[in-house]
A and B are shown apart, each in its own frame.
Chain A
Amino acid sequence: MQNKNIRNFSIIAHIDHGKSTIADRLIEYTGTLSERQMEAQVLDNMDLERERGITIKAQTVRLDYKGKDGETYQLNLIDTPGHVDFTYEVSRSLAACEGALLVVDAAQGVEAQTLANVYMALEHDLEIIPVINKIDLPSAEPERVKGEIENTIGLDTSNAVLASAKAGIGIEEILDSIVKYIPAPEGDAEAPLQALIFDSYFDSYKGVIAHVRVKQGHIKKGMKLKMMATGKEFEVTDVGCFKPQPVDVGHLDMGEVGFVAGSLKDVRDVRVGDTITFADRPADKPLPGYRGVTPMVYCGLYPVESSDYDNLKDALEKMQINDAALVFEPETSIALGFGFRCGFLGLLHMDVIQERLEREYHLKLITTAPSVIYHVYKTDRTMLKVSNPSELPPQTEIEHIEEPYVKATVIVPNDFVGAVMEISQDKRGEFKTMDYLDTNRVMITYHIPLNEIIFDYFDRLKSATRGYASLDYELADYQTSQLVKVDILLNGDPVDALSTIVHKDRAASRGRQLAAKLKEIIPQQMFEIPIQAAIGSKVIARENVRARRKDVLAKCYGGDISRKRKLLEKQKEGKKRMKSVGSVEVPQEAFMAILKID
């Protein structure tokens, strides 16, 4: 394809603003898939994604569109993950494009997450086409939303498309605008190859498949190529485009988007952001912006049945094949036995992995409360990175502790500014800026500990703002904090997996809340179970789970034994989700209790 007829673009949108529906309509309109092949929201093809209405793995699709000028254009849609956990992945996808559709809900207006991605797109010099979606809603206010886009982002909205993907309005206009406004890719087709990897996945037949954008040079089947960051060399066995299934076309030219495979076994060799070049005639430098994977949030994953340890290990290894951002290493807990310390990009990433392990590998898991990475400076002048509260050294050995802070951006209607400030203050946030996006909406930024964000910051924000708040955050720095470890004792024994690190000033209240929550969660057992929260040897809170008085099966009529058996089996099934910690049966959710206190 001649590069003047190629357009590479992505779609920037907040959750629910209609990104997937627009993508579906574009695929449909260009006849890339017949109606029969169309499944609703083809691009979100993981069950989980469909249930949550979000994109976790980016997808790519090539659309062939015959423009008004009679020419056929190759439009490459690069779908981006729509969640704050995946900011880096989004930035790489954007780097593969020349333009982006900015989809904004005609009733809701601009949201924090959208804004962050638009700024990112602007940093990459992308041409942005505003699309005001859902204009057929009775509450649609396209003019107000246009004004908001102009005020907040400074984008000219004179070429904005008014659309309703659901009703099929404005689809052709979107396609024409892409052709008209987004620049064709430019580069030297004969120069040494520079292809940007913006995603990868593992295929059990072809090995790792890299999603790439050819920035200069070209790729052909049989070529010997090299990853510039990891140094991995391979021979191209498959190269082609997504329609949206991978179609082997034998080559990718300058400016095109598609995939490359070459019996690569390990996703870790195929890093998002890395540059692929010729093995024997490499480009003189890689494309800018490559970054290694840095997990932000850690938690312990333990099998409920200790005999499932190897199965969990296998499952994690298999997941890792497709997810270079997942890291894990073996860990032992006195309470939970053998398990793994796992690192994730963020809370959503953690949730998704955990749910997939349970769903796809039928594992019953106990997840400990998530933790950030603390930098613990010890009195012996060494620094320890601690992501598991139980590994915090004794107070006497600690000189000081630093914790990660983020820059959190919150957008809310101005009625809720007070609520946002109150919660952020309560979460140890330091107020930074406040800007009016328009007469009604405000953008507030805080410098706030990540630890507080992963607790229930967003949940609290949402409930205090009736769901209107949108949040985005990025790692800012590490700062010294007065942190202490709160331990929980069940029946007098400390349970390491329930320990948590909190700020000194709120340790007492956290301890009380946690003990009270655990009292609700831990079922009655034969004996009374004292629950204590302690800092060091000082008990700061105490609760009691009263003893279960009795448990006798009632009468059964006429020898219906099977029914008794079913009752027992059900009872046993319930206990299977519990872990024996000392003499106490503790349900899974107890280990996440810290997240559920308010």
Chain B
Amino acid sequence: MQWGIYIHIPFCRQKCFYCDFPSFAGRERYMEDYTAALCQEIKTQGSCYRQKWGEPATIYIGGGTPTALSAGQLEHIIRTVTTACLSEGTQPEFTVECNPGTVDEAYLSRLRHSGVNRLSFGVQSFDDGLLKRIGRIHTGAAAVQAFQLARAAGFQNISLDLMYGLPGQTMEQLQASVGQVLALAPEHISIYGLQLEEGTAFMKMQEQGRLHLPSDELTEQMYDYMTGALPQQGYARYEISNFARPGRESRHNLSYWQDVPYLGLGAAAHSYLDGQRWEHVSDIEAYIEGIHSGQDVMQPEEAHDRRIDMEEFCFLALRTAVGISKARFQEKFGCTLASVYEDAITRMKARGFLQESADSVCLTDLGMKYGNWVFEEFLLG
């Protein structure tokens, strides 16, 4: 049975101004203890689920900034998960998120040799002024260099992230960044529109009137430009925010949307196991302490009833280009998709947000643009 592992590294050299993920700068002193605790959890939990479900199809180390750890620490984590969950010679999709400002040739080479076969670089932009303005620690040139070093280290599956709608960002800057990405020819590209989140530096600036975001119209033009240009260059949009060369879709990313179970490990990691969602304690110290003293570091989230299961099944599947499989819905819930959602589907089709075939229901291009409106229609409460 297909399943995946997510490992969370809650450290960053510096917190980006837009970021509200559970990651912390200035906690380097915990890295060693965190690595040890994490490895302990990987050993017990990882082997347990391997026995239950066999080897995981995907492993994803994300953050935070996994590469904020020393190469030795990260290597230790990678080897621990490999030993606990994989047989000799098997090759799951094994991704590590990298900040271009944290890796050199040797670091990348050690990752490649320890079994990692996919990298995801948070590039965001190639404009140095803009990078600085959003709190990134690297330059555009550093991103190019990191990418080239990764290729040299033997990585043949690399993803680059770009952001749009950033403060002061112009269409020209965005187009230049897209041009740079295309010139590097990665296998996979993710694009994210800036969203202001509670508790971030940007939110504070916004409240003080010091954040100058591009207009809605310009942000939309950026979105249109990217969602138009990338497919033209051979990157198919297989999910709302993700584009890939054929066969290079992120299997791990897809598993979130396709009702595939995943085991999250480390502080603040989320899991989806046997239909139940779980969350880890998000505080680094509490996590380390919990592992050492043998307490539960994972708490079940709100229990799901059938209604919530249906809602999530649908709004998650709709993020993908293939959409909701009618057969899989019926298999899982014992009733047809139409029996539950006929009205919503009809309404959304009428507005041009959804298209329906004999087998599936999926977002149109327009529907992708207004994804939240469509997802909301699939909430039953």
Contacts and interface: CB of A to CB of B under 8 A. Distances in A.
B262 interface: yes
Contacts of A526: 351, 370, 373
A52 interface: no
Contacts of A559: 6, 256, 262, 264, 270-272
Given A551-B370, A562-B302, A572 B379 contact: yes
B270 A565 contact: no
B376 A568 contact: yes
A569 interface: yes
A552 B368 contact: yes
Interface string B362-378: 00000011111101100
B222 to A, nearest CB: 10
A545 B311 CA distance: 31
A552 B193 contact: yes
A249 to B, nearest CB: 53
Interface string A218-255: 00000000000000000000000000000000000000
Contacts of A562: 270, 277, 279, 301-302
A205 interface: no
A561 B379 contact: no
A558 interface: yes
Interface of B: 6, 8, 21-22, 60, 62-63, 190, 192-195, 216-217, 219-220, 223, 240-241, 256, 262, 264, 268-272, 277, 279, 301-302, 308, 311-312, 315-316, 351, 368-373, 375-376, 379, 381
Given A558-B8, A559-B6, A561-B316, A568 B372 contact: yes
A338 B191 CA distance: 46
Given A550-B220, A553-B372, A568-B372, A561 B381 contact: no
A568 B375 contact: yes
B62 A558 contact: yes
Q: Which of B21, B241, B264, B373 has the most chain A CB atoms closer than 10 A to its own CB? A: B373
Given A558-B60, A565-B315, 13 more contacts: A526-B373, A550-B370, A551-B370, A551-B373, A552-B193, A552-B240, A552-B371, A554-B192, A558-B270, A559-B270, A559-B271, A562-B277, A565-B311
A561 B270 contact: yes
| 7 nearest CB pairs, A to B | A549-B220, A554-B195, A549-B216, A551-B372, A557-B21, A550-B369, A560-B270
Contact of A552 (B21, B372, B379): B372
Q: Is the interface of B mostly helix, strand, loop or mixed?
A: mixed
A362 interface: no
8 contacts: A548-B370, A555-B241, A556-B256, A558-B62, A562-B279, A567-B372, A569-B381, A572-B381
A554 B264 contact: no
A553 B242 CA distance: 13
Contacts of A565: 308, 311-312, 315
Contacts of A548: 216, 370
A158 interface: no
Nearest to B197: A554
Nearest to B265: A558
A537 interface: no
A575 interface: yes
Contacts of A572: 376, 379, 381
B5 to A, nearest CB: 11
B272 A575 contact: no
Contacts of A560: 270, 279
A571 interface: yes
A485 B120 CA distance: 63
Contacts of B311: 565
A554 B240 CA distance: 9
Q: Which of B22, B217, B256 has the most chain A CB atoms closer than 10 A to its own CB? A: B256
B8 A552 contact: no
A172 to B, nearest CB: 55
A561 B193 contact: no
A58 to B, nearest CB: 43
B369 A571 contact: no
A555 B197 CA distance: 12
A440 to B, nearest CB: 43
Interface string A564-585: 1101110110010000000000
Contacts of B379: 568-569, 572
Contacts of B264: 558-559
Nearest to B60: A558
Nearest to A562: B301
B223 A550 contact: yes
A547 to B, nearest CB: 9
A551 B363 CA distance: 13
Contacts of B193: 550, 552, 554
B348 to A, nearest CB: 12
A567 B62 CA distance: 22
Nearest to B195: A554
A556 B375 CA distance: 15
A548 B6 CA distance: 35
A587 to B, nearest CB: 16
B6 A550 contact: no
Contacts of A554: 192-195, 241
Contacts of A549: 216-217, 219-220, 223
A567 B256 CA distance: 17
Q: Which of B63, B264, B301, B372 has the most chain A CB atoms closer than 10 A to its own CB? A: B372
Contacts of A551: 369-373
Interface string A316-353: 00000000000000000000000000000000000000
Contacts of A524: 216
Nearest to A546: B216
Contacts of B216: 524, 546, 548-549
